[in-house]
Amino acid sequence: MSTLIRGGTVVNADQTFRADVYCEDGVIKAVGPDLDAPAGARIVDAGGAYVMPGGIDPHTHMELPFMGTIASEDFFTGTAAGLAGGNTLIIDFVIPNPQQSLLEAYQSWRQKAGKAAGDYSFHVAVTWWSDQVEQEMGVLTRDHGVNSFKHFMAYKNAIMVEDDVLMKSFRRCLELGAVPTVHAENGEVVYLMQKALLEAGITGPEGHSLSRPAEVEGEAANRAIAIAGLVGSPVYIVHVSCKESLDAIARARAAGQRVFGEVLAQHLVVDDSVYRSGDWLQAAGHVMSPPFRPKHHQEALWAGLMNGTAQTTATDHCCFCADQKAMGRDDFTKIPNGTAGIEDRMAVLWSEGVRKGRLTPQEFVAVTSANCAQIFNIYPRRGRIAVGSDAALVVWDPNATRTISAKTSHQNVDFNVFEGLEVTGTCAVTVSNGKVVWENGQLDVEQGAGNYIPRPTFPVVYDAVKLRNELARPSPVAREPSAHVTP
């Protein structure tokens, strides 16, 4: 299959230039002006539009079993909705039950993802610790293209891990050349605040927000960063939602520590007033963790993306319909946590970011695709329009408008936190594996067409602990200045 995208302006994270793009057998074969295409090639007219690397969403949970139910979006409908929005790769999460083999869980998630319409990869969560976990992390990196491991500091009595596991697992990640990532909220404090609120008779969705204030996230982010610093590993903080976490990341990065921050499109535009709407279902539809914050955190998050404190954007796409959210009708701690975003992330980032002068088109490519590809070691296979890169790209119409609504979305969920938001800038065409899968508002996808994208580990170039010990060794006793040195 061959496709020629003609007449567009190519935008990479570091360059913008007029060029045609020719793809064949799922790979970009030529980038340049006035390209010819062989007979039979699909021609896509990109005149007046941008040709950009397909979006990478590093944080999704398709058909996740969670809080007594299963997320309503599956790998087919979720990746298809992503393709409609310009997203050509998801990094989802294998989340083993505590005491479950990581490998067994990985195989189960690989089986579920087999129906995907678009490409996918996996972080694997470390939800418990043993010699077996340590050993299986090695197998996953060596044999299965996993180079990132997730740690939940929240969700006590479920998938939360304590600091000792963070220390051991971060150390193991360093040994393997893998990236540890964390959901940073202090699960012990959340648990106590939940109990206190329920005892005080606060059972509605507003209790969710009250039980996990920004300080609870900032403390955990700071703690994860401190532990990573002691170990010498990098650390990637997912769904950074508040200034407190950004400040912790900025301090660490200023000190030369390798810390990354991810921001959700939802937290950039929605604030905590949604929990005080008086409409239970509306408020419950916004229950996710971390919760939506007071408005001033949004400008901090935008600043974090603009100044490089945060590098990636994501959605944490984890969908629950009204009947599922109603499980917590009498107790907010039972409302399944999660919201949707995979179809709208790119348009929200363009409309609220680029159109409002916060991001340049190149910075848009960086935070929706290229930075993520680099952090998780699949650049320039992904995250760049270049010869040899995968033919996973979008033709972006910077001026087209649409109004976001659950009613017109391709996502398999009856709620959208961006409901009614008019966005300027939409995905006109999506090419996935070299095939046009979205054009003229129509999806042309098939179950199972998505590929698993393995992510290689990074070279292990030093033993941080040994290095740290060497650096910490007391300097030799200061020598007397030798006689010949004149004062």
As a whole number of angstroms, the distance between CA 117 and CA 120 comes to 9
Residue 183 vs 382, nearer CB to ligand URQ: 183
Residue 61 vs 384, nearer CB to ligand URQ: 61
To ligand URQ, the closest distance from the beta carbon of 353 in angstroms equals 22
To Zn ion, the closest distance from the beta carbon of 61 in angstroms equals 5
Helices 296-307, 243-254: crossing angle, 10 deg rounding: 30
Distant-in-sequence, close-in-space partners of 211: CB < 8 Å, separation ≥ 6 = 190, 193, 194, 197, 332, 333
Residue 310 interacts, among ligand URQ, Zn ion, none and using kind-specific CB cut-offs from 5 to 8 Å, with none
Neighbour order of strands in the sheet with 148-152: 55-60, 87-94, 119-125, 148-152, 179-183, 235-237, 259-264, 312-314
Residue 217 interacts, among Zn ion, ligand URQ, none and using kind-specific CB cut-offs from 5 to 8 Å, with none
As a whole number of angstroms, the distance between CA 309 and CA 262 comes to 9
Beta carbons of 57 and 123 less than 8 angstroms apart = no
Residue 337 interacts, among ligand URQ, Zn ion, none and using kind-specific CB cut-offs from 5 to 8 Å, with ligand URQ
As a whole number of angstroms, the distance between CA 234 and CA 390 comes to 27
Give the 3-state secondary structure of residue 124.
strand
Residue 389: how many other CB atoms lie within 10 Å: 22
Residue 144 interacts, among ligand URQ, Zn ion, none and using kind-specific CB cut-offs from 5 to 8 Å, with none
To ligand URQ, the closest distance from the beta carbon of 157 in angstroms equals 14
To ligand URQ, the closest distance from the beta carbon of 249 in angstroms equals 18
To Zn ion, the closest distance from the beta carbon of 124 in angstroms equals 13
Write the CA distances from 227 to 166, 172, 232, integer angstroms: 7, 13, 8
Q: Which two tokens stand for residue 220?
A: 């955990």
> Which residue is closest to ligand URQ by CB?
337
Residue 23 vs 154, nearer CB to ligand URQ: 154
Residue 146 vs 417, nearer CB to ligand URQ: 417
Residue 119 vs 316, nearer CB to Zn ion: 316
As a whole number of angstroms, the distance between CA 429 and CA 195 comes to 49
Residue 288 interacts, among Zn ion, ligand URQ, none and using kind-specific CB cut-offs from 5 to 8 Å, with ligand URQ
To ligand URQ, the closest distance from the beta carbon of 102 in angstroms equals 17
Residue 148 vs 289, nearer CB to ligand URQ: 289
Residue 266 vs 432, nearer CB to ligand URQ: 266
As a whole number of angstroms, the distance between CA 13 and CA 87 comes to 16
To ligand URQ, the closest distance from the beta carbon of 428 in angstroms equals 30
The H-assigned helical ranges of 262-317 are 265-269, 280-285, 296-307
Residue 338 interacts, among Zn ion, ligand URQ, none and using kind-specific CB cut-offs from 5 to 8 Å, with ligand URQ
The H-assigned helical ranges of 67-213 are 75-84, 102-113, 131-144, 163-176, 187-199, 206-211
Residue 7 vs 180, nearer CB to ligand URQ: 180
Binding positions for ligand URQ, rule: CB under 6 A: 61, 66, 183, 288-289, 316, 318, 337-338
Binding positions for Zn ion, rule: CB under 5 A: 183, 316
Residue 308: how many other CB atoms lie within 10 Å: 14
To ligand URQ, the closest distance from the beta carbon of 239 in angstroms equals 6
Give the 3-state secondary structure of residue 87.
strand
